[in-house]
């Protein structure tokens, strides 16, 4: 039953917020505190190593914003802001000596979607070294991250959204399991072969490293000399990774300028606009939904035009939506054979397999309504075999195709979607008004605040879809009335 996809599943795998792989650290909730209290000057280090940093850039501690790069004077559009030579980024190198063959073995056991852990192992190795080349970089990394693997069980529940809760639990289970694999792999190693200098690596340390990488790493093309020139390589880019995200960024990152002047630099960041004094430098991390922003980066974007609600298609879903808005339509659960054919062409007929990825549909985002769910609503409300061919499926899936089966069918289809939205909203334990009141009353910490903002944005996405569909219903009704008058 589709409702179960909303049930909040919580395993008690919350991980203590106490990364502790090598140096003693005090725990604090704000990302402004770094691994050590007086880390080396990162700007100086980058310049000394042959990198370029625009003279009007400083590292600033902005309250409620975090630690970032800020312009200390106006910077004109087009200026180079930061450039890094190839030896500064930290990457997972498969071929650097015997001690890392343990790391290479471990890396092979990490599932593809948890890519951040692989480079995370390298980061932990460098963090444990007393004289790491990257120590000036690593010591400046935040000591804690606000990604949900560090939320306690109650705050995970407060996300109120099963798809992200499942992802968080999956990551937590992985970390607990991977910790054992790491322990086994290093158990009988001599100190000089030990990839972490003989130190214990627990799940918190692994979580810290995974979060440090997922929130900061960039994917660059493989370097010229490697065989994998077309493959992406994940790298940590010192300093550049202190630029925060914006959908309207003032800076942009470039790789591999092969002209003579820049040949010795691997990447550079350039000002896209004029940057005013005290403005933070921002890059666009990607047009992503809030699930990814929260899981990988530890923040949510409000508003986020790319945020979506994910659900599983089931005939009873549309049926329930129909009941909610009280419209009269044929039985969604027993489609006629021609309707079934269309559902099958839309890959929405796989009802035996609950887990089938084909049944995943979305509401919200730039398309507002998943084309397949729109087409299904249109098809299931049509009374008899229509003269539609498969080549018309794209039209049926398009919101901008106006009433492909006629106005009354379109009204029913749109109302079904509105009903679906109402059902989704009812399934959340709280509404937006209550969430806003909770935020106003004051929350226990950054985790609870993020959980509430996350679920509020999900609800606004649905409210927005409802508003858009209602506007379309109104317009269609007007049109229907006008043609009735003129007939």
HSE (side-chain half, CA atoms, 13 Å) at 425: 23
HSE (side-chain half, CA atoms, 13 Å) at 438: 18
Strand partners, 254: 268
Least distance (Å) between residue 376 CB and ligand NAG: 13
**Residue 372 burial (CB count, 10 A):** 22
Task: Report the residue number, 213 or 265, with the smaller CB distance to ligand NAG.
Answer: 213
- Residue 2 in the binding site for ligand NAG (CB under 6 A): no
Task: Report the residue number, 27 or 323, with the smaller CB distance to ligand NAG.
Answer: 323
Task: Report the residue number, 121 or 461, with the smaller CB distance to ligand NAG.
Answer: 461
Least distance (Å) between residue 251 CB and ligand NAG: 14
CB-nearest residue to ligand NAG? 66
Fill in the per-residue mask, 374 to 413: x = in contact with ligand NAG (CB under 6 A), - = not in contact: -------xxx------------------------xx-xx-
Total of residues contacting ligand NAG (CB under 6 A): 28
Fill in the per-residue mask, 66 to 105: x = in contact with ligand NAG (CB under 6 A), - = not in contact: x-x-------------------------------------
Task: Report the residue number, 221 or 405, with the smaller CB distance to ligand NAG.
Answer: 405
Taking CB under 6 A as the criterion, which residues in 185-244 touch ligand NAG? Answer: 244
Degrees to nearest 5, angle at CA 84 with 83 and 85: 130
- Residue 330 in the binding site for ligand NAG (CB under 6 A): yes
Task: Report the residue number, 399 or 480, with the smaller CB distance to ligand NAG.
Answer: 480
**Residue 52 burial (CB count, 10 A):** 17
What is the per-residue burial (b if ≥16 Cβ within 10 Å, else e) of 399-431? Answer: eebebbbeeebbbbbbbbbbbbbbbbbeebebe
What whole-number distance in Å separates Cα of residue 297 and Cα of residue 245?
Answer: 10
Task: Report the residue number, 70 or 235, with the smaller CB distance to ligand NAG.
Answer: 70
| Contact with ligand NAG (CB under 6 A) among 326, 357, 366, 442 | 326
Least distance (Å) between residue 329 CB and ligand NAG: 4
| Contact with ligand NAG (CB under 6 A) among 31, 100, 160, 339 | 31
Fill in the per-residue mask, 421 to 450: x = in contact with ligand NAG (CB under 6 A), - = not in contact: ----------x-xx----------------
Strand partners, 275: 75
Burial class from Cβ neighbours inside 10 Å (0-12, 13-18, 19+) for residue 468 reads: middle
Task: Report the residue number, 138 or 201, with the smaller CB distance to ligand NAG.
Answer: 138
| Contact with ligand NAG (CB under 6 A) among 155, 290, 308, 322 | 322
- Residue 332 in the binding site for ligand NAG (CB under 6 A): yes
Least distance (Å) between residue 431 CB and ligand NAG: 4
Taking CB under 6 A as the criterion, which residues in 239-268 touch ligand NAG? Answer: 244-245
Taking CB under 6 A as the criterion, which residues in 101-140 touch ligand NAG? Answer: none
Least distance (Å) between residue 303 CB and ligand NAG: 11
| Contact with ligand NAG (CB under 6 A) among 92, 299, 306, 342 | 299
Please report, as ranges, the residues that interact with ligand NAG according to CB under 6 A: 31, 65-66, 68, 244-245, 299, 301, 319, 322-323, 326-332, 381-383, 408-409, 411-412, 431, 433-434
């Amino acid at each position: 039953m589709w409702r179960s996809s909303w049930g909040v599943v919580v395993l008690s795998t919350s991980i203590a917020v106490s990364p502790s792989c090598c140096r003693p650290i005090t725990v604090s909730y704000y990302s402004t505190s770094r691994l050590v209290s007086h880390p080396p000057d990162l700007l100086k280090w980058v310049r000394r190593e042959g990198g370029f940093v625009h003279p009007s850039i400083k590292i600033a501690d902005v309250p409620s914003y975090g630690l970032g790069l800020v312009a200390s004077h106006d910077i004109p559009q087009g200026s180079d802001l930061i450039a890094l030579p190839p030896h500064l980024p930290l990457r997972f190198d498969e071929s650097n000596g015997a001690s890392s063959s343990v790391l290479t073995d471990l890396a092979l056991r990490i599932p593809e979607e948890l890519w951040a852990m692989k480079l995370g192992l390298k980061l932990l190795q460098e963090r444990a070294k007393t004289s790491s080349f990257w120590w000036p970089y690593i010591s400046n990394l935040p000591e804690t991250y606000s990604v949900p693997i560090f939320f306690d069980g109650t705050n995970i529940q407060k996300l109120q959204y099963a798809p992200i809760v499942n992802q968080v639990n999956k990551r937590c289970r992985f970390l607990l399991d991977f910790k054992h694999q790491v322990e086994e792999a290093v158990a009988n190693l001599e100190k000089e072969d030990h990839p972490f200098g003989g130190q214990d690596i627990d799940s918190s340390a692994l979580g810290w490293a995974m979060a440090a990488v997922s929130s900061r790493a960039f994917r660059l093309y493989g370097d010229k000399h490697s065989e994998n020139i077309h493959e992406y390589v994940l790298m940590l880019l010192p300093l550049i990774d202190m630029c925060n995200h914006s959908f309207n960024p003032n800076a942009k990152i470039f790789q591999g300028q092969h002209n003579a002047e820049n040949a010795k630099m691997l990447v550079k960041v350039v000002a896209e606009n004029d940057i005013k004094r005290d403005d933070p430098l921002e890059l666009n991390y990607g047009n992503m939904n809030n699930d990814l922003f929260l899981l990988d980066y530890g923040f949510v974007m409000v508003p986020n035009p790319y945020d979506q609600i994910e659900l599983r298609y089931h005939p009873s879903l549309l049926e329930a939506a129909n009941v909610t808005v009280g419209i009269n339509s044929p039985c969604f659960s027993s489609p006629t054979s021609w309707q079934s054919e269309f559902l099958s062409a839309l890959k929405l007929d796989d009802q035996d397999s609950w887990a089938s990825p084909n049944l995943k549909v979305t509401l919200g985002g730039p398309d507002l309504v998943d084309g397949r769910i729109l087409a299904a609503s249109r098809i299931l409300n049509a009374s008899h075999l229509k003269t539609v061919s498969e080549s018309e499926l794209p039209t049926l899936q398009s919101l901008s195709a106006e009433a492909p089966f006629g106005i009354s069918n379109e009204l029913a289809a749109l109302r079904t979607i509105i009903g679906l939205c109402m059902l989704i909203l009812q399934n959340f334990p709280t509404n937006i008004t209550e969430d806003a009141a909770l935020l106003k009353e004051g929350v226990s910490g950054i985790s609870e605040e993020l959980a509430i903002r996350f679920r509020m944005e999900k609800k606004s996405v649905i409210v927005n879809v409802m508003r858009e569909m209602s506007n379309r219903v109104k317009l269609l009704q007007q049109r229907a009335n006008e043609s009735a008058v003129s007939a």
